[in-house]
Structures are given as structure tokens and as C-alpha cells.
Amino acid sequence: MFINMKDRQLNLKVVYYGPALSGKTTNLERIHAKTDPSRRGELVSLKTAEDRTLFFDFLQLELGKINGLTPKIQLYTVPGQSYYQASRKVVLKGADGVVFVADSSPRRLQENMESWNSLHTHLEELNIPIHHLPLVFQFNKQDLENALAPSILTRAFQTGSYPTFSASALEGRGVFDTLKAIINGVVSSIRN
């Protein structure tokens, strides 16, 4: 969080985290495509030649005023490939909230779990207590014929009290439900 008192702006950072290819970039592309251009910036993507996220994607949204401040939500994604450990940690720094984008494909369960564990490790290293951080789960790729049911994923991740959303970022389902939930979580944690 960063408050610029002069411009009465409140900058909030939300990070889309998850294994490689779970659909994090697709979420931001959907949000970008469906948000009024007057309320959003450009989608900035740093990609490799194979269209993979190299460092992060970035999208800024503007919300209605809160207590006289204009909140700007900055959405980031992390690169999922294991050799980008260090950049994942850098992107997480200063996060006010996290969306964990899980891949519902049964073949990706192991990668999901590794990514979920690495999130815990990074937050610990950054001294961010995970239980104080607003976090929302998205079970993406629910359109796949063999997608794992949300009840199975809920159990696998032991999501506890975290909000969970079924989604197909590809079809545009669940993307804004997820976004609204994390924004609500972040805004109410700041109010406290």
C-alpha cells in the first residue's frame, strides 16, 4: 500500500500467483478487455518469444473514492516457471492481496501444490504473515472436460476460510467474481 497525500491517491497491489500456465495472464487480459478504458491503464506484458510471462504483467484499475482517497489497484502476475523463483519473490514484495490461480487439470495437481508451498516460503522470507494477507483462490480451467471438482481442490489446498471461485478465464467466467472478492478483501483489511 502506498498513499500519496498530495494527490489523495491510494495505491494497492494485488498479485496473481500460481503455477506456470494456470491462466494468470489470461485473467488480466480479460479484465483489461472488459474494463472501461477510462478506468484502466494499458496491459503491460513482458513476454518471451514463446508468449510466456518473463517478469510480470501489469494492469492498473481505478476505483471509486474511499474516504476521500482515489484507490488505484495495481494487478501483477508472476512468471510460473521454476527458474523464475527470484522474480516471483520481487513481484510479491509489498503485495496487499494475492489471488492464487490454480489449474484444475488433474495432471497439474502436483505443480499447484508446489506453487502453493513456494508462495508460503516467499511470504515468510518477506515477513508477510500469510494469515493477515487477503487471499482468494481461483480454480481456473473448469471448462476442461476432466477438470477436478472444486470440492476436491478445496480439500487438496485446505483452503479453510479463504474465498474460492470456479472459473474459466478462457471463457471469461469467474474472472470478475475473483477480482471483486480480492478487492473487497484488500479494502476491508485497510479499513481495519
Ligand X SMILES: Nc1nc2c(ncn2[C@@H]2O[C@H](COP(=O)(O)OP(=O)(O)O)[C@@H](O)[C@H]2O)c(=O)[nH]1
Minimal distance, residue 75 CB to Mg ion, in Å: 12
Measured from the CB atom, the residue of 57 and 96 that comes closer to ligand X is 57
Minimal distance, residue 166 CB to ligand X, in Å: 10
Q: Could you give the count of Cα atoms lying within 13 Å of 108 in the half-sphere of its Cβ?
A: 24
Measured from the CB atom, the residue of 140 and 159 that comes closer to ligand X is 140
Check: CB of residue 60 under 8 Å from CB of residue 76: no
Check: CB of residue 137 under 8 Å from CB of residue 98: no
What separation in angstroms does the CA of 72 have from each of 9, 37, 59, 109, 167? 7, 14, 10, 34, 25
Query: What is the contact surface with Mg ion in residues (CB under 5 A)?
Result: 24-25, 53
Measured from the CB atom, the residue of 22 and 118 that comes closer to ligand X is 22
Minimal distance, residue 152 CB to ligand X, in Å: 17
Q: Is 115 helix (H, G, I), strand (E, B) or coil?
A: helix
179 contacts which partner out of ligand X, Mg ion, none, CB within 5 to 8 A by kind? none
141 contacts which partner out of ligand X, Mg ion, none, CB within 5 to 8 A by kind? ligand X
Q: How far apart are CA 124 and CA 44, in angstroms?
A: 28
63 contacts which partner out of ligand X, Mg ion, none, CB within 5 to 8 A by kind? none
Let me know if 176 is exposed, middle or buried by CB neighbors in 10 A (0-12, 13-18, 19+).
middle
Measured from the CB atom, the residue of 62 and 143 that comes closer to ligand X is 143
Minimal distance, residue 145 CB to ligand X, in Å: 10
What separation in angstroms does the CA of 110 have from each of 20, 21, 25, 140, 143? 12, 13, 21, 15, 20
Measured from the CB atom, the residue of 53 and 178 that comes closer to Mg ion is 53
13 contacts which partner out of Mg ion, ligand X, none, CB within 5 to 8 A by kind? none
Residue whose CB is nearest to Mg ion in the complex, by number: 53
Query: What is the contact surface with ligand X in residues (CB under 6 A)?
Result: 18, 20-26, 53, 77, 80, 140-141, 143-144, 168-170
Residues present in the chain in total: 192
